Chains A and B, each alone.
Chain A
Amino acid sequence: MLAIRTSKMTKPIIWLFGISVAAAAFGYAFILPGLGQTAKNVDLGAYSADAERGEYVLRMGGCVVCHTDIDNGGVFLAGGAGLETPFGTFYAPNITPDTEHGIGAMSLEDFYVAMTAGVTPDGEHYFPSFPYTSYGRVKTEDIVDLKAYLDTVEPVARPNRPHELIWPFSNRQLVGVWKSLYHTPEPFVSNEVESAIWNRGAYLVNGPGHCGECHTARNLIGGISANALEGAGKSSFSSGAPPIAGSRSTIRDWSLNDLVFYLQLGLTPDGDVSGGKMIDVIEHGTSHLTGEDLEAIATYLKSL
């Protein structure tokens, strides 16, 4: 389980902070329009969908890890186990094409807006436990392919479990304010100075792979508060994920080959195994990627 822990000491601080943020934010929440809704300028019909490639995109995105209740043998993509955070427990929904409980009724445009802007087909905000902050960088063709693949999955009529959140974080309108601070939906832009393999790695890590969502420290309201990928540290809001960039990087002494091997099998160069949620990320995500893509990820991470 991804352990984002809160000590008893910090609870009152969260409350105080949460309440003051809530008070300040209520004013804005109604002024700010639903941010995003970015599908307007994108011609989704320009791409011909490839469901087989979409299955690969699913693995790039690590979607299975949260949307399947792996530990309890849950049905593939029919909804996940809880993600515990200081704001409460989030339950990733059923993303099989069941029209009632899954996303079968979502159009491609709905899906695109959900992934990049974090807005539901009804115009509400998704909570940022759905990492649209990273998925906003996913290439349009990848989103189109992913949707095509998800349409081919066996539909499962499993009702979604509601999130169990602490007030005021349970208020979806406040997410609008949060987004104005922490979500800038911008497509991935290649760095012309770097190699093609480096850019592929940067895309996989910062876009679909959403590595920084766990491997970066967050502040009291769950916003990214430090340099990307430099670890969540031991703060009260820590996911426990270690730094994988910067001077404290735990993979600094690893070779490119070590890193590729780790993302395939979960074995570290010193003979240990990955811990926590990373076990699932490797088994249901990275181990399905091609050698070239893993090398790209490793090349990028080693450069940070």
Chain B
Amino acid sequence: MLRRFLAAVTLSALIAMPGSHASANSDSVIEYRQHLMRAIGGHMAAVAAIVKGRLPLTEHIAEHAELIENAAELVPAAFEEQVSDGLTDAQPEIWSRIDDFVELNAEMSKASAALAKAAEEGDMRDIAMAMQSLGKSCGSCHQPFRKPKEESYKQPR
């Protein structure tokens, strides 16, 4: 009883936090974007693990591909607010070339749908080819819009 009460109080305190509507905290914006990207990467890595390890989980690949497609739909909104300072590798070009960014995002949706289709048909060669084009689509957006690894905020200074 008491625990539930406390939980309710904590929740309402969180919701009532000042400024949560007007402009989101930039650290939180970055945190969300990075977890969204990591989720996509996680699905890619899972598919890769199935293919590399010849795991008897081929039917999971289509599911992962659909989850990537769903996640792709979340990307434009996640990058709506321009936050390119702080612990982020997002390049300011995202916002100066937002149409290209959105277009590349749509390419990613298409490529993940193609992977889902290949996975349903079950030919490992086609699956590998579809993974390659999905990977290329990731790269085609990272190339202009994500800081290269050697300039990443993660590099020791």
Q: Which of B1-9, B21-29, B127-135 contacts A (4 or more CB under 8 A)?
A: B127-135
CA distance A229 to B45 in the complex (A): 26
Q: Which of A100-108, A124-132, A214-222, A269-277 contacts B (4 or more CB under 8 A)?
A: A269-277
Q: Which of B10-18, B74-82, B97-105, B143-151 contacts A (4 or more CB under 8 A)?
A: B143-151
Asked if A261 and B48 make an inter-chain contact with CB atoms under 8 angstroms apart, the answer reads yes
Contact of A266 with B52 at beta-carbon distance under 8 Å, contacts A271-B44, A276-B148 already known: no
Contact of A273 with B52 at beta-carbon distance under 8 Å, contacts A240-B150, A242-B149, A265-B128 already known: no
Q: Contacts of A279 on B, CB cut-off 8 Å?
A: 136, 139, 143
Minimum CB–CB distance for A17 against chain B, Å: 23
Asked if B41 and A240 make an inter-chain contact with CB atoms under 8 angstroms apart, the answer reads no
Contact of A270 with B148 at beta-carbon distance under 8 Å, contacts A265-B132, A275-B143 already known: no
Contact with B along A273-304 (1 / 0, CB 8 A): 11110010001000100000000000000000
CA distance A270 to B128 in the complex (A): 17
Residue of B nearest to A238 (CB): B150
Residue of B41, B48, B52, B148 near A275 (CB, 8 A) is B148
Asked if B51 and A261 make an inter-chain contact with CB atoms under 8 angstroms apart, the answer reads yes
Q: Contacts of A266 on B, CB cut-off 8 Å?
A: 132, 135-136, 139
Contact surface of B with A, Cβ cutoff 8 Å: 40-46, 48, 51-53, 128, 131-132, 135-136, 138-139, 142-143, 148-150, 155
What 14 new A-B contacts, CB under 8 Å, besides A261-B52, A265-B48? Answer: A3-B148, A234-B150, A240-B148, A240-B150, A257-B52, A257-B53, A267-B45, A271-B40, A272-B41, A273-B142, A274-B139, A275-B143, A279-B136, A279-B139
The 5 closest A-B pairs by CB, nearest first: A271-B45, A271-B41, A271-B44, A273-B139, A273-B138
